[in-house]
Amino acid sequence: MRFVISAAALALALIPTLVHAQDKLLFPVGEDSRFHWDSFRKFADSHDFSGQTLTVSGTWTAEDEDTFRNAFAYFEKATGARVDYAGSGSFEQQIVIDTEGGSPPDIAIFPQPGLAAELAAKGHLTPLPEGTAAFLKENYAAGDSWVTLGTYKGPDGKDHLYGFPYKTDVKSLVFYVPENFQDMGYEVPKTMEDLKALTQRIVEDGGTPWCMGLGAGGATGWPATDWVEDLLLRMQAPDVYDKWTTNAIRFDDPRIVEAIKEFGWFAKTDAFINGGSSAVAATDYRDSPAGLFSFPPKCYMLKQASFITSFFPEGVAMGVDADFFYFPTYADKPDLGTPVLGAGTTFTITRDSPLARAFIDFLKTPIAHEVWMAQRGFLSPLKAVNPDVYGDPVSRKMGEILTGASTFRFDGSDMMPGAIGAGAFWTGMVDFVGGETAESVARQIQATWDGIKDK
């Protein structure tokens, strides 16, 4: 999907007012034993940049900006430096202007890796300090995946690690109402085979298993791309997914077509979908959760990303009135592990300096993650963090899914050229649900990609 909605609505607790680093920290150092204060003190003892200013640019505004400021306040406190953060909804356009004009910030935070890769190839990004890749491999869950995500070709044509991952969203989730499951005697499925069997059982019991909506205005179709991406990660090895997102494996490859067909097993059977499969494209994804909460329920399950709770009815308490489970893997494909599809942000150095490198070092500390974890809207793949710090049990459960991942992959459509990931892929999935074959839509999408290559 091309746009990312904050997962902030997952929080169940109110957040303290934004504070300024040099005056007062959100969580006083040493007072809450859940935090890794030793990591803060060790970083502070080895980094002194008093009087210097670090400029940072990204997309976070409003609540996300407040919680980020509360996190980097600890960098300011530890180093004596000041962080000048500028958040903007037009970040993607502005960072291109700034880097090409020779006036970039010290640190740029990218919501999708594609643009970062483009700027790296032009020489506008600085490779991260030596040892960063080894750190990610050792300390992040599915560490190899994160190194792959942040590695791009530089102006020399060689691969370098440019991006440091920080703040993640999880998409491999299925939401449901526990009371509805209890009333019918349904159990949370542990495998994809169990999920498909449950889908059929709900129909046999006279219910409708799936809430689903692909509508999103000009972006209609994107929820279906998440389905296909998640299924592909469960049906093929990660390198197949990686090659597919770059078109090294064509869209009309039989392995990709098979994943589209598997999505069709769920989406193209009228009895499986609230309103029938013909209603999927016309149903706005923001309205799709409503069927979970009707009485009797119009549908029992909804596959969506963590942010969908923002569109649950007012008063719904996550963990009580609604819950979620991991979108399961196939029992007959145990070698593929437990992949997780998601999104997140990538920190890059756009103007090299000892201070900029120190900020990347700060992001390696547990405290840099835990301060935001204790607020809201933040999931961390850093294995050293204390999960008890999460501000609510829902975020903690999602964090456990993330740290339990054997493979993490970024939303595939966000990594493809815009004409594909935010165009032909979206419309192709709508056509597929509307009646076209998987083979046909795959050929059409590939034809669009071939046209891009020919230009």
Q: Two tokens at 50? A: 């008093």
* Residue 76 dihedral angles phi and psi, to the nearest 5°: -65, -45
DSSP 86-125: EE-TTHHHHHHHHHHTT---SEEEESSHHHHHHHHHTT-S
Q: Which residues lie below 8 Å from residue 171, measured CB to CB, with a gap of 6+?
A: 226, 230, 304, 305, 306, 340, 341, 342, 343, 411
Instruction: Report the predicted TM-score, pTM, of the whole model to 2 decimal places.
Output: 0.87
Report CA 175 to chain centroid distance, whole Å.
16
The answer to whether the CB of 230 falls within 8 A of the CB of 224 is no
Containing 440, the helix (H) or strand (E) segment is helix 438-454
Indicate the helix (H) or strand (E) that contains 55. Answer: strand 53-58
β-bridge partners, 339: 407
What's the Cα-to-Cα distance from 355 to each of 68, 79, 83, 107, 146, rounded to whole Å? 18, 9, 10, 10, 23
Provide the β-strand partners of residue 408: 340
Helix axes 37-45, 366-373, angle to 10 degrees: 130
* CB contact at 8 A, 178 and 329: no
Helix (H, G, I), strand (E, B) or coil at 310: helix
pLDDT of amino acid 23: 54
* In 370-444, beta strands by DSSP E: 407-410
For residue 323, list its beta bridge partners.
Answer: 176
pLDDT value at position 439?
Answer: 98
**What's the confidence (pLDDT) of residue 4?**
38
Q: Is the peptide bond before 296 cis (omega within 30 degrees of 0)?
A: yes
Helices and strands, number each (H, E), in the chain:
18, 11
Question: What pLDDT was estimated at residue 381?
Answer: 96
* Calculated CA dihedral for residues 160, 164, 169, 170, nearest 10 degrees: 50
b/e 106-144 (16+ beta carbons within 10 angstroms → b): bbbbbbbbbbbbebbeeebbbbbbeebbebbeebbbbbe
- In this structure, which long-range contacts are made by residues 274-280, counting pairs with CB atoms below 8 Å and at least 24 apart in sequence? 274/208, 274/210, 274/211, 274/212, 274/298, 274/299, 277/433, 278/434, 280/212, 280/213, 280/214, 280/433
Pick the closest to residue 143 from 412, 397, 408 (CA basis).
408
Q: Compute the distance between CA of residue 162 and CA of residue 181 in angstroms, rounded to an integer.
A: 45
d(CA 58, CA 67): 14
- The amino acid at residue 134 is A
Structure token digits, residue 114? 């594609």
* CA-atom Rg of the chain in angstroms: 22
Where are the alpha helices (H) located in 127-221, listed in sequence order? 132-139, 143-150, 178-184, 192-204
Cα dihedral sign, 62-39-351-3: negative
Instruction: Report the C-alpha gap between 255 and 247 in whole angstroms.
Output: 13
* pLDDT number for residue 8: 37
Question: How many residues in the chain?
Answer: 455
Nearest to 224 by CA among 158, 171, 298, 276: 171
Question: pLDDT (tens digit, 9 = 90+) per residue, 258-275?
Answer: 999 999 999 999 999 999
CA dihedral 348, 122, 153, 453 (to 10 degrees): 130
Please list the ranges in the chain whose pLDDT falls under 50.
Answer: 1-22
Per-residue confidence (pLDDT) for residue 240, from 0 to 100: 98
Task: Kindly report each contact of residues 194-202 with a partner whose C-beta sits within 8 Å and lies 24 or more positions away, as own/partner.
Answer: 194/328, 195/327, 195/328, 196/265, 199/266, 199/272, 199/301, 202/300
Helix (H) or strand (E) holding 430: helix 425-433
